[in-house]
């Protein structure tokens, strides 16, 4: 018995890296998988069916069930078509993993609006569109489903040269939290994974130059399986971080703060400066 027996799962960006590892893991656990990938380069240019087809072939060769999708998740039509494919081919939808992404790094002062928009369109808008399409189906069919988004350390802590990517990933954190609140009434769980892994998206970044295979996509896939399965039936609104063999949970933390004691009026700028260390202490 697999953890995902008879469940139907969509994995976007599943042609390579973390998406591929997750799709293969889902299939091994008994899920029927929609393998979505437009087959573009890392910067989102070009397209090819080869990547998605290769993962589907590997799943089928190992006795699993899978179908390829080449839909563009950054468009409303693409997101809707992706969900419709799951329904028409497998008859239901239980799990969505929003993993598709591109990189177009550039420092803030040199970044063109087109570069900004391209990254937000795929990561943030794509996540929203697929989440909305999947949640509508789950709600209408009474499916207590699981949706797993992908955020990043860059979005939660910031990273030089990635204003567009960081903004998108920070937005996905907020989207995950809000969606988990709104969809809990329907029994739909919404969580996110913040992975740190060596893939084609990250392999030429300075921090990965001396890192071996200990930060592999295969270390991230079990987190997706956990969040997709009934093992996490009481978990929603959580960001699970994975970095090789280390797992943790990201949370927004507010400092204890300080009440103004002298009078009931507003703080003056000078008073804020005087007490800022206490105000900001966590």
Let me know whether 266 and 141 are in one domain: no
Range of the domain at 262: 255-282
- The predicted structure's pLDDT at residue 88: 98
Let me know whether 171 and 266 are in one domain: no
Let me know whether 275 and 185 are in one domain: no
CA distance linking residue 95 with residue 83, whole number of Å: 11
Let me know whether 203 and 262 are in one domain: no
- The predicted structure's pLDDT at residue 47: 80
How large is the angle between the packed helices 126-141 and 76-90, nearest 10 degrees? 40
Let me know whether 105 and 198 are in one domain: yes
Residue 103 falls inside a structural domain: yes
- The predicted structure's pLDDT at residue 268: 93
Let me know whether 92 and 147 are in one domain: yes
Let me know whether 221 and 247 are in one domain: yes
Let me know whether 226 and 270 are in one domain: no
Measured in Å, how far apart are the chain's first and last C-alpha atoms?
46
Let me know whether 186 and 281 are in one domain: no
Residue 116 falls inside a structural domain: yes
Which residue is catalytic, options 165, 186, 250, 259?
165
Strand arrangement, sheet containing 239-243: 65-69, 32-36, 8-12, 95-97, 146-150, 189-196, 239-243, 246-250
Active site (annotated) includes residue 165 = yes
How large is the angle between the packed helices 17-28 and 217-228, nearest 10 degrees? 50
Residue 19 falls inside a structural domain: yes
Let me know whether 200 and 262 are in one domain: no
Instruction: Report the number of distinct structural domains present in the chain.
Output: 2
| Cα Rg of the chain (Å, integer) | 20
Let me know whether 240 and 259 are in one domain: no
Give every CB contact of residue 34 below 8 A, 6+ residues apart in sequence. 8, 9, 10, 11, 66, 67, 68, 69, 82, 85, 86, 89, 90
Residue 38 falls inside a structural domain: yes
CA distance linking residue 77 with residue 158, whole number of Å: 32
Compute the 3-state secondary structure of the chain and give helix, strand, coil in percent, each to the nearest 5. Answer: 45, 15, 40
Asked if 121 and 172 count as a contact pair (C-beta separation under 8 A), the reply is no
Give every CB contact of residue 208 below 8 A, 6+ residues apart in sequence. 198, 202, 215
| Beta strand pairing call for 246-250 and 239-243 | antiparallel
The two three-digit tokens of residue 225, written as one number: 């399986």
Residue 63 falls inside a structural domain: yes
pTM of the full predicted structure?
0.92
Let me know whether 185 and 282 are in one domain: no
**What's the full length of the chain, in residues?**
282
Per-position pLDDT tens, the chain of length 282: 899 999 999 999 999 999 999 999 999 999 999 999 999 988 788 888 999 999 999 999 999 999 999 999 999 999 999 999 999 999 999 999 999 999 999 999 999 999 999 999 999 999 999 999 999 999 999 999 999 999 999 989 999 999 999 999 999 999 999 999 999 999 999 999 999 875 555 555 555 455 556 788 999 999 999 999 999 999 999 999 999 899 999 999 999 999 998 788 999 999 999 999 999 999
CA distance linking residue 257 with residue 131, whole number of Å: 36
Residue 34 falls inside a structural domain: yes
Asked if 14 and 37 count as a contact pair (C-beta separation under 8 A), the reply is yes
């Amino acid at each position: 018995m697999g953890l995902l027996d008879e469940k139907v799962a969509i994995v976007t960006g599943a042609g390579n890296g973390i998406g591929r590892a997750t799709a293969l893991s889902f299939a091994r656990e008994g899920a029927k998988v929609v393998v979505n990938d437009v087959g573009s380069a890392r910067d989102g240019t070009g397209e090819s069916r080869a990547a998605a087809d290769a993962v589907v072939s590997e799943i089928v060769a190992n006795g699993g069930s899978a179908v390829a999708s080449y839909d563009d998740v950054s468009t409303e039509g693409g997101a809707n078509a992706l969900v419709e494919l799951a329904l028409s081919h497998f008859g239901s939808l239980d799990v969505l993993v929003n993993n598709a992404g591109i990189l177009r790094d550039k420092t803030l002062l040199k970044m063109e609006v087109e570069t900004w928009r391209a990254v937000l369109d795929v990561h943030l808008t794509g996540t929203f569109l697929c989440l909305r399409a999947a949640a509508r189906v789950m709600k209408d069919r009474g499916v207590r489903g699981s949706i797993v988004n992908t955020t990043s350390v860059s979005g939660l802590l910031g990273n030089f040269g990635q204003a567009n990517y960081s903004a998108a990933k920070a937005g996905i954190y907020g989207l995950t939290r809000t969606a988990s609140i709104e969809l809990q009434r329907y029994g739909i769980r919404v969580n996110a994974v913040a992975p740190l892994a060596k893939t084609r998206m990250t392999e030429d970044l300075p921090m990965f130059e001396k890192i071996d295979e200990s930060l592999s996509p295969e270390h991230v896939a079990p987190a997706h399986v956990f969040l997709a399965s009934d093992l996490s039936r009481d978990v929603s609104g959580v960001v699970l971080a994975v970095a090789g063999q280390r797992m943790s949970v990201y949370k927004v933390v507010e400092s204890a703060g300080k009440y103004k004691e002298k009078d009931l009026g507003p703080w003056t700028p000078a008073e804020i400066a005087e007490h800022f260390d206490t105000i900001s202490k966590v």
